[in-house]
A and B are shown apart, each in its own frame.
Chain A
């Protein structure tokens, strides 16, 4: 995986000869009148760590429950290794799921929880025991094997749920908000643990989350969903740097959106966004009509602040500091332009706070290069 530092870049989705593990073909799911999934088609490949990201009610959980077999598509087909899985009940699918609530069986010990699925398969006692011990080692739970779920901590329960769902060595593991119940510090540690386990086992993971940082950290590809559709499916860096719509740009991370009308000449576009303000220059490979309403999206960390107008920046706008959000390592400055538009600028706090140069009500210049932002149709 590219962001994990492997030398070989993992990107089967760019290889036309690669066979997808899962294929959604024009899948629609309706609950009564409500359309949860709207004519969705997507390929997911073996060994991928695929994240479904979106606000609640966007259909990501429905998508996952269709893969697990708890829901069936209203129309369209879902293929797993080329086979239509609609008629296969959940207990016959080579798919396992890790539930948001973990759904550990409270009356069984950790050991028996992990062995539960293996016993249903009916393997020999020794084979089951060996597999359970493997899983306990993988998730570092060996010394808790004899405890009941209520006798261990939340983080440990999360690992039991993972071990139990991995025990049957499924082709596909579904994770429904797996880290939602953990506090932030533990969640970050667990994210890396998840990636580690995914690489060790080579299982394909599909994870549902509403935490964009989590999706960016763990996933090889992220699908941003809204109202039953996938708005953009791409690698985390492409999602962040090259969102295909205002929705995606706004959903992932912080962003400044400036709306205006375009006038294009070749690669450069000048955007007129307010009376009395200079135009903003951006570059694009897309085509916009003259006078077309467009949005210019730029991340706060790509905007600098200075007291004097910088000479080397393509774009510079003057404004007044309205607010400063101090986050320790970084500060976000909210700068109000004369037309009322607010531009956020994120600056790393390389000096101690007592040496901060700018403060409230200061008049400053916000500046950025012509390649820092991205132009989007509205």
Chain B
């Protein structure tokens, strides 16, 4: 094991400070007693209480969760299907065009995506509300899902599917019983990615949301324009904790599985040798 040099320690500290200091400050001030955000007046959890009594915020939070769950689920289904077609179908006319078009929205400026969706919804006479936000989020999140899933499918041993066919599966059964369970971790992380993207999207949501439904990021953004309140700090702290718990548990689960698998394989080889 190499010794930890001073240079490394400093670089690490600076890097992490750069990433996490703003969030720590925010969390710290969410427990501030004072109504003035930047003046410390003692520890209190009163703003969390206030937050749960604020109906507007709660409505927005519920909307956000609804949109995120629905849109990321649809995006996962569509994105997985697109990835499967791209990787599995071999060459068909327009394959290059199709794969280019799947990935284009990744690099498209969000303002343009939002604006074009807005024009489309107005054009077809769709009233803006939860439905339009869901549609918009599905559109851009499915590219991310298909990127994640197709990179997993590229390393997927095709003979596993052939074995399933050989043993009597129809093409759909082979996908459901063999391919899907094996690529499930990629599909789940695709869903998580889509979920978080939808959760914190402001630009596209503000183009496609209507007066009947706003999401939490829009609510926070408009509230902050009138001045930062300690309530917002409390709300943000809750969001940070939710995301952190999700990310940490997901990475722990996948790491544990990988370590366990490696240990099993070594044990099996030792037993054989």
Using CB atoms and an 8 Å cutoff, list the residues of chain A in contact with chain B: 68-70, 89-92, 95-97, 99-101, 103, 105-107, 116-117, 120-121, 148, 150-156, 164-165, 168
How many residues on the B side are at the interface (Cβ–Cβ under 8 A)? Answer: 26
* Beta-carbon contact of B268 and A168 below 8 Å: no
Residues in B neighbouring A96, C-beta threshold 8 A: 166-167
Stretch at the interface among B16-24, B45-53, B64-72, B155-163: B155-163
Complex-state Cα separation, A168 to B167, whole angstroms = 8
Residues in A neighbouring B168, C-beta threshold 8 A: 91-92, 117, 120-121, 168
Check B39 for interface membership: any CB of A closer than 8 A.
Answer: no
Q: Which of B164, B169, B182 contacts A106 (CB 8 A)?
A: B182
* Beta-carbon contact of B162 and A151 below 8 Å: no
Contact residues of B between 229 and 273, Cβ < 8 Å to A: 261, 264-265, 267-269, 271-273
Complex-state Cα separation, A165 to B159, whole angstroms = 14
Known contacts A151-B264, A154-B272, A103 near B163 by CB under 8 Å: yes
- State the Cβ distance, B62 to closest chain A Cβ, in Å: 36
Using CB atoms and an 8 Å cutoff, list the residues of chain B in contact with chain A: 157, 159-160, 162-170, 173, 177-178, 181-182, 261, 264-265, 267-269, 271-273
Residues in A neighbouring B178, C-beta threshold 8 A: 105
* Beta-carbon contact of B268 and A107 below 8 Å: no
- State the Cβ distance, B140 to closest chain A Cβ, in Å: 31
- Minimal Cβ-Cβ distance residue in B for A154: B272
Q: Which of B157, B166, B264, B268 contacts A90 (CB 8 A)?
A: B166
* Beta-carbon contact of B182 and A91 below 8 Å: no
8 pairs of A and B residues whose beta carbons are closest in the complex: A153-B272, A117-B167, A120-B168, A103-B163, A103-B159, A151-B264, A90-B165, A107-B181
A-B contact pairs, 7 of them (CB 8 A): A70-B162, A90-B166, A100-B159, A101-B157, A116-B164, A148-B264, A153-B271
Complex-state Cα separation, A120 to B157, whole angstroms = 21
Complex-state Cα separation, A69 to B162, whole angstroms = 10
- Minimal Cβ-Cβ distance residue in B for A167: B167
Interface of B is mostly: helix
5 additional contacts (CB under 8 A) given A103-B157, A148-B264, A168-B168: A91-B169, A105-B182, A153-B268, A154-B269, A156-B268
* Beta-carbon contact of B160 and A103 below 8 Å: yes
* Beta-carbon contact of A105 and B271 below 8 Å: no
Complex-state Cα separation, A152 to B272, whole angstroms = 8
- State the Cβ distance, B55 to closest chain A Cβ, in Å: 46
Residues in A neighbouring B177, C-beta threshold 8 A: 116
Complex-state Cα separation, A103 to B269, whole angstroms = 18
Q: Which of B163, B181, B272 contacts A97 (CB 8 A)?
A: B163
Complex-state Cα separation, A68 to B167, whole angstroms = 11
Complex-state Cα separation, A105 to B183, whole angstroms = 12
- Minimal Cβ-Cβ distance residue in A for B163: A103
Residues in A neighbouring B264, C-beta threshold 8 A: 148, 150-151
Residues in B neighbouring A95, C-beta threshold 8 A: 166
Known contacts A150-B264, A153-B268, A155-B272, A68 near B181 by CB under 8 Å: no
Q: Which of B182, B265, B271, B273 contacts A150 (CB 8 A)?
A: B265
* Beta-carbon contact of A164 and B167 below 8 Å: yes
- State the Cβ distance, A123 to closest chain B Cβ, in Å: 11
Residues in A neighbouring B269, C-beta threshold 8 A: 153-154
- State the Cβ distance, B201 to closest chain A Cβ, in Å: 34
Complex-state Cα separation, A165 to B265, whole angstroms = 23
Complex-state Cα separation, A164 to B162, whole angstroms = 14
- Minimal Cβ-Cβ distance residue in A for B182: A107
- State the Cβ distance, B168 to closest chain A Cβ, in Å: 3
Known contacts A91-B168, A91-B169, A164-B167, A150 near B159 by CB under 8 Å: no
Known contacts A96-B167, A120-B168, A151-B268, A105 near B162 by CB under 8 Å: no
- State the Cβ distance, A343 to closest chain B Cβ, in Å: 42
Complex-state Cα separation, A151 to B157, whole angstroms = 19
Complex-state Cα separation, A156 to B268, whole angstroms = 10
* Beta-carbon contact of A150 and B268 below 8 Å: yes
Complex-state Cα separation, A172 to B49, whole angstroms = 72
Residues in A neighbouring B159, C-beta threshold 8 A: 99-101, 103
